[in-house]
Amino acid sequence: MLPCDEKRDISGRSQKVVIHKHVKEDEMKIGILISTGDPEIIWNAFRFANLCMNTNVNDEVSIFMHAKAVEYESCDSENFNIKELAKTFVLSDGKLLACGKCLGFRGLAENEVCGKGSQKDLYEMVMTSDKLICF
């Protein structure tokens, strides 16, 4: 419950005023949603996720991929080292999930880097993230 002060308005009626105090936390939860199959955008999303993991080791970073983004491995190229960035992210304790239905539609499966997720996992990431970034 937030602290509050009691003040009186012009008519003398009591009003409660909520005092908002910003408390800096040592840990932030960052959720990243990737929906595109564009290699450059996927590459930038993983670069950003790795930056988040390396900037504050206390941050918790999760990535959920759906739609064409679940094909991220096929987007890997000389210019866009997506598989390497995904592996680095997971080895840094990042959480990487791909929509299970989207994987299934494409004949793909989870692997050692990317787990199979559900709409419930996406909902949990959205509801528990302090910041949500969509690519």
Could you write out the DSSP letters of every residue in 51-114?
Answer: HHHHH-TT-EEEEEE-GGGGGGGGG--SS--HHHHHHHHHHTT-EEEEEHHHHHHTT----SSS
The pLDDT of residue 57: 82
Distance CA 90, CA 53 (A): 10
pLDDT in tens, 75-117: 999 999 999 999 999 999 999 999 999 999 999 999 999 999 9
Q: What is the pTM of this model?
A: 0.80
Give 24: exposed, middle or buried? Use CB within 10 Å, 0-12, 13-18, 19+: exposed
Question: What are the boundaries of each domain within the chain?
Answer: 28-134
Indicate the CATH number for domain 28-134: 3.40.1260.10
Alpha carbon of 81 to those of 45, 46, 56, 86: distances in Å? Answer: 12, 10, 23, 9
